[in-house]
A and B are shown apart, each in its own frame.
Chain A
C-alpha cells in the first residue's frame, strides 16, 4: 500500500494495539512474550521514525530562504551624522559636548550608586581635558589643601601608567577621616576647571565641529537634521522584515504560525479590523506600516510621560514670569563670593609648606575652615544646577512648547535627564537609570517622531483619539481602547500579522510551508529535550 503510508501506519498501530490488549499476561512466559513483541515493534517503529524524521528535515531544508546580509552602510552613515548633530546641537554648550555633564553626574552620585572605580571617573575627566590640549597638574587642583594632596598623588600614579593606585587609596583613606567630603570637593575642583578653561575647550569643540562638517559634507545644523530624517526613512525601509526573518521567527516560536493560517479566527479578526474590503491591499499595508510607527511612538510617549508631566508641573509657573529671572545670576554671584573667600584661606594654607599631619593650631583651623566653606559651596552648586536648568527652560519656554521640544531639551542635557529619571521613577540603581536614559535617547533621536511634535506640553491632549481619527480616514477601525497602554502589544501583534500574511502571500513561499518548517523545528527541539532528560 505505497500510495499512502500514513494510512498504513494508522491501521498498523490500531492492529498492534488491539493485539497487545488481548495478549495473555498470566504467566511469566506470557509476559515475556508480550515484552518481546513490544520490543520488536519498538525496533520497527524506531526505524520508521528515523526515516520519517530524515525526510522531514530534508523537506524543511528545501524551504530554507537564503537572503543576503543586510547592508550596514546606512547605519554607519547615520552614526556619523548623529555625531555631527551632537556636536552642532544649538541647545547645549561645550560642557555637554565634551561629555563633562555625564562625568559630573557619575561623580556626584558616587556614594549613591557605589561605582566600582572613582579612579576611572577622575581619569576620564583628565582624558577629556587632554583631548583639548589641557594637561592638568597638581597646581590646578587647589580647591582645598586636601584636594591638592589627593590629586597630587593621583596624578603621579596616572603619570606612571602602571595601573597601581594603591598609594592613592592610602592617601584617600587618610584624608577621608578628616574630610569625608573629599570626593565632593574633587567634583568642585573639576567644575571650576571646566569654567576656567572655557575658551580652550570651546576652541576644541569648534575645531571638532569644523572637521565633522567637512568630513560629512554638512553646512549647518538644519541640513544635518534633514539628512538624518531622510536616512531614518531609508533605514526603516531597509530594515523591513523579510520573509527569511518571518520564517526564523516562526521556527523559534516568536510568531505563533497557527494564527497566520487561513482558517485562524485571530487572522480573520485582524483583517476585519485593519483592512477594509474595499481598499487596495498595498495601500492598506502602507497605512498599517505608518500606524505601526505611530503606535511605537505612542508607546514611548507613555513610557516617558512621567518626565513630561514633571516638566509641566515644575515649569508651568514660568510661563507667567513677567520680569527678567535672575535666579542663575544670583547663585553665580554667591558662588563666586564664597570661592573668593576660599581662595584667600587657601593662599594662607598653601603658603605654609607644611605637611598634612604636622601643623600649627592656626593651620589646623584654617584647613577646617576651608573644608566647611567648600561644603557650603557644594550645597550652593546643588541650587546652581536647579537654576542652570531653569535658565535653559526659560530661554525656550512658551505656551506652544511641545513634547518634542522637551524631549530635545533633556536629550541635550544628560545630567538633568538622569536627575529627572532618578526622581520620577524613584530609582536608586545606576544601571536602571542608564537603561531608562539610553531608551530615552533612542526615543529622542528618532527623526521620524511625528505625533509628539504636535503635542503641547502645557495642554491636555487626547493622543489616542488623534491617532484613531487619523486612521479612520483610511478605514482602519482601531478604537481608543486598542490604544490602552497595556494593550499596545496586542495591537502591534495584530498589525504585524496582517503585514506578514500579506508579505507571505506575495512571496514564493506558502503559509503551509512556513507552518511545516515550524513544526519540524518543534520536533527537533522536543527530541533534544528528551535526549537531555
Chain B
C-alpha cells in the first residue's frame, strides 16, 4: 500500500464560525460514511 505523502495546507481563520462547525461535522459524517462502506473481510482459509 502506497501511503500518500501529500500535506494539505489550510487556513481555517478564513472560515466563519458557522463554516468551521460545518467543516467539522462534514468531516465527521464522511468518516462515518467510510466506516459504513468498508467491505467485511472474508475468512482467511477461503483464500
Binding site for B on A (CB under 8 A): 2-6, 8-10, 13, 16-17, 20, 25, 28, 31, 34-36, 38-42, 44-46, 48-49, 51-53, 55-56, 59, 512-513, 515-516, 519-520, 523
Q: Which residues of A contact B42 (CB under 8 A)?
A: 28
Beta-carbon nearest neighbor of B7 in chain A: A47
A216–chain B nearest beta-carbon distance, Å: 52
Assuming A2-B10, A13-B26, A516-B21, is B4 touching A40 (CB within 8 A)?
A: yes
User: Would you call B34 and A38 a contact (CB within 8 A)?
Assistant: yes
Residue of A nearest to B3 (CB): A40
Q: Are A6 and B38 in contact (CB under 8 A)?
A: no
Name A517's closest neighbour in chain B (CB-CB): B17
Tell me the nearest residue of chain A to B27, going by C-beta: A49
B26 pairs with A10, CB closer than 8 A: yes
What is the minimal beta-carbon distance from A131 to any residue of chain B, in angstroms? 62
CA gap between A53 and B12 in the complex, in Å:
11
Q: Which of B23, B31, B33 contacts A17 (CB 8 A)?
A: B33
For A8, what are the chain B residues with a Cβ–Cβ distance below 8 Å?
A: 8, 10
Which B residues have a C-beta under 8 Å from some C-beta of A?
1, 3-4, 8-12, 14-15, 17-24, 26-28, 30-31, 33-35, 37-39, 41-42, 47
**Quick one: given A9-B26, A40-B1, A41-B34, are A4 and B15 in contact (CB under 8 Å)?**
yes
Cβ contact within 8 Å between A42 and B20: no
Given contacts A42-B31, A45-B34, A49-B31, contact A5 B47 (CB under 8 A): no
Contact call A46/B31, Cβ cutoff below 8 A: yes
User: Which residue in chain A gives the minimum CB-CB distance to B2?
Assistant: A40
Please determine whether A512 and B4 come into contact, CB atoms closer than 8 angstroms. Answer: no
B18–A48 touching, CB < 8 Å:
no
Beta-carbon contact of B11 and A9 below 8 Å: no
Q: How far is the CA of A9 from the CA of B30 in the complex (A)?
A: 10
* A512 CA / B37 CA spacing, docked (Å): 35
Name the B residues within 8 Å of A28 (CB-CB): 42, 47
In the bound complex, do residue B21 and residue A45 qualify as a contact, i.e. CB atoms below 8 Å apart?
no
Which of A35, A46, A53, A56 interacts with B38 by CB under 8 Å? Answer: A35
Q: Which A residues touch B19, using CB under 8 A?
A: 6
Do A9 and B27 have beta carbons less than 8 Å apart? yes
Given contacts A6-B22, A52-B12, 7 further A-B contacts (CB under 8 A): A5-B12, A16-B30, A35-B39, A52-B23, A56-B20, A59-B20, A516-B17
Contact: B12 with A48, CB < 8 Å? no
Could you tell me the distance between the alpha carbons of A34 and B1 in the complex, rounded to whole angstroms?
A: 12
Q: Are A31 and B39 in contact (CB under 8 A)?
A: yes
Closest CB in chain A relative to B3 CB, distance in Å: 7
Contact B27 A52 (CB under 8 A): yes
Q: Judging by beta carbons under 8 Å apart, are B21 and A55 in contact?
A: no
Residues of chain B within 8 A of A53, CB atoms compared: 24
Q: Which residues of A contact B22 (CB under 8 A)?
A: 6
Q: Which B residues touch A5, using CB under 8 A?
A: 8, 10-12, 14-15, 23
Beyond A6-B19, A6-B22, is A38–B37 a contact (Cβ under 8 Å)? yes
Across the two chains, which residue of chain B brings its CB closest to A510?
A: B17
Interchain CB contact under 8 A, B20 and A52: yes
Which are the 6 A-B pairs with shortest beta-carbon distances? A5-B10, A516-B17, A31-B39, A519-B21, A55-B12, A49-B27
A-B contact pairs, 20 of them (CB 8 A): A2-B11, A6-B22, A9-B23, A9-B27, A13-B30, A17-B30, A34-B37, A35-B39, A36-B1, A40-B1, A42-B31, A45-B27, A45-B30, A46-B31, A48-B27, A49-B24, A512-B18, A513-B17, A515-B17, A516-B18
Name the residue in A2, A3, A5, A49 with the highest tally of chain B Cβ atoms < 10 Å from its Cβ. Answer: A5
Residues in A with CB closer than 8 Å to B1 are 36, 39-40
Docked complex Cα distance between A39 and B34 (Å): 8
Q: Is the CB of B14 within 8 A of A42?
A: no
Complex-state Cα separation, A4 to B28, whole angstroms: 18
Query: Are A48 and B34 also in contact (CB < 8 A) when A9-B23, A28-B42 are?
Result: no
Q: Which residues of A contact B27 (CB under 8 A)?
A: 9, 45, 48-49, 52
B39 touches A34 (CB 8 A): yes
Q: Nearest-CB distance from B36 to chain A (Å)?
A: 10
